[in-house]
Structure 1
Amino acid sequence: MAIATLASRIAGFVRILVLAAALGLGTRLLDTYNIANTLPNAVYELIVGGTMASIVVPLLTRAALREPDGGVLYAQRLLTLIVYILSALTLVAIAAAPLLIDLYAPGFTTDQRELAIVFSRYFLPQILFYGISATAAAVLNIRGHFGAPAWAPLCNSVIVIAVGLAYAAVGGSTTTTLETGHLLLLSLGTTAGVLAQMVLVVWALRRAGFPVRLRLDPRGIGIRRIGELGAWVLLSVVATQILVAAATRAASWSGLGGITAYQYANAIFHVPFAVVAVSVMTAMLPRLSQYAARGEQQRVVTGLSRAVRTALVVMAPIATAFILLGPRIATVLFDHGNSSAATVRVLGLVLAAYGLTLVPFTSYMILQRGLYALQDTRTSALITAVVAGVGVAGCAVAGWLLQPGDIVIGIPVAYAVAYTTGLSLTAVVLRRRLGYIDGKRLIRTHIRVFAAALSGAVCAGLAVWALAPAVDASAWAGALVTGVAAGFAGAAGYLGAGRLLRLAELRHLLNAALPGVRTW
Structure 2
Amino acid sequence: MLRSAGVVGALTLLSRITGMLQSRVVAYYLGAGPAADAFLVAFRIPNLLRRFTAEGTMTSAFLPTVGEVEGSRGEEAAKEMVARFLGTLALVLAGLCAVAIPAMGLLAGLQVMGRLAPGAGWGQQAAVLWEILRGLRPGPEEFLLTTTLARIMFPYLALVSVTAGLSAVLNLKGRFGLPASVSTFWNLVFIGFTLACLSLGPRAWRGPEQAALVMAVAVLAGGVVQLFLLWPAFRGLGYGVSWGLHLKDPGVRTALKRMAPGLLGTGIHPINVLISTTLASQLAVGAQAVLFNSNMMGEMVLGVFAASVATVSLPAMSRLVEAGDAPGLKASLASALRGTAVLAIPGAVGMAVLARPIIALIFQTGRYSARDVEWTATTLAFQAVGILFVATGRITAQCLYALKDYRRPAYAALLGMAVNIVLSFVLMRPLGTGGIALANGLASMAGLGFMAGGLRRRMPSLPVREVAGGWLPMALASGLMGLLAWEGGRLLGLGSFHGLLGTSARLFPLIALCALAYFALLLLFRVPEAASVAGLVKRKLGRKT
Mark yes or no: TM-score above 0.5.
yes
Equivalent of 1:75 in 74, 82, 98: 82
* 2:183 matched residue in structure 1: 153
What does 1:381-392 correspond to in 2, within 5 Å?
Answer: 381-392=410-421
* 2:124 matched residue in structure 1: none
Structure 1: gaps (5+ residues) = none
Q: Aligned pair in 2 of structure 1 residues 495, 69: CA closer, same or farther (>3 Å)?
A: closer
Q: Distance in 2 between matches of 1:491 and 1:2?
A: 17
What does 1:418-437 correspond to in 2, within 5 Å?
Answer: 418-437=443-462
Q: Distance in 2 between matches of 1:298 and 1:352?
A: 38
Q: Is 1:98 matched up with 2:105?
A: yes
What does 1:354-393 correspond to in 2, within 5 Å?
Answer: 354-393=383-422
Q: Distance in 2 between matches of 1:496 and 1:238?
A: 37
Equivalent of 1:202 in 231, 235, 247: 231
Give the aligned residue type for 1:424.
Answer: G
Structure 2: gaps (5+ residues) = 1-7, 117-139
Give the aligned residue type for 1:449.
Answer: M
* 1:193 matched residue in structure 2: 222
* 1:257 matched residue in structure 2: 286
Instruction: Give, in angstroms, the shift of residue 47 of structure 1.
Output: 4.6
Q: Is 1:272 matched up with 2:301?
A: yes
* 1:498 matched residue in structure 2: 522
Give the aligned residue type for 2:527.
Answer: L
Q: Cα deviation per residue 1:79-129 (whole Å; 9 max; x = unaligned)?
A: 111112111111111021001101122134611111111111111111111
* 2:360 matched residue in structure 1: 331
Q: Do 1:240 and 1:385's aligned partners in 2 also have CA atoms closer than 8 Å?
A: no
Q: Distance in 2 between matches of 1:456 and 1:240?
A: 28
Equivalent of 1:141 in 168, 171, 186: 171
Instruction: Give, in angstroms, the shift of residue 218 of structure 1.
Output: 4.9
Q: Is 1:413 matched up with 2:435?
A: no
Quick check: 207-216 or 496-505, which moved more? 207-216
Quick check: 229-238 or 114-123, which moved more? 229-238
Q: Aligned pair in 2 of structure 1 residues 59, 370: CA closer, same or farther (>3 Å)?
A: same
Q: Is 1:464 matched up with 2:489?
A: yes
Q: Do 1:395 and 1:411's aligned partners in 2 also have CA atoms closer than 8 Å?
A: yes
Quick check: 76-85 or 44-53, which moved more? 44-53
Secondary structure in 2 aligned to 1:95? coil
Q: Do 2:326 and 2:459's aligned partners in 1 also have CA atoms closer than 8 Å?
A: yes
Between Structure 1 and Structure 2, how many residues are aligned? 508
Q: Aligned pair in 2 of structure 1 residues 462, 43: CA closer, same or farther (>3 Å)?
A: closer
Instruction: Give, in angstroms, the shift of residue 230 of structure 1.
Output: 3.0
Q: Aligned pair in 2 of structure 1 residues 247, 272: CA closer, same or farther (>3 Å)?
A: same
Instruction: Give, in angstroms, the shift of residue 148 of structure 1.
Output: 1.7
Q: Distance in 2 between matches of 1:305 and 1:108?
A: 46
Q: Do 1:236 and 1:384's aligned partners in 2 also have CA atoms closer than 8 Å?
A: yes
* 1:484 matched residue in structure 2: 508
Q: Do 1:320 and 1:453's aligned partners in 2 also have CA atoms closer than 8 Å?
A: yes
The TM-score normalised by the length of structure 1 is 0.91
Q: Aligned pair in 2 of structure 1 residues 511, 261: CA closer, same or farther (>3 Å)?
A: farther
Secondary structure in 2 aligned to 1:356? helix
* 2:328 matched residue in structure 1: 299
Instruction: Give, in angstroms, the shift of residue 172 of structure 1.
Output: 5.1
* 2:152 matched residue in structure 1: 122
Equivalent of 1:30 in 36, 39, 47: 36
The TM-score normalised by the length of structure 2 is 0.87
RMSD over aligned Cα atoms: 2.3
Give the aligned residue type for 2:333.
Answer: L
Q: Distance in 1 between matches of 2:64 and 2:252?
A: 15
Q: Aligned pair in 2 of structure 1 residues 166, 413: CA closer, same or farther (>3 Å)?
A: same
Secondary structure in 2 aligned to 1:357? helix
Q: Distance in 1 between matches of 2:537 and 2:103?
A: 48
Secondary structure in 1 aligned to 2:432? helix
Secondary structure in 1 aligned to 2:250? coil
Q: Distance in 2 between matches of 1:440 and 1:217?
A: 46
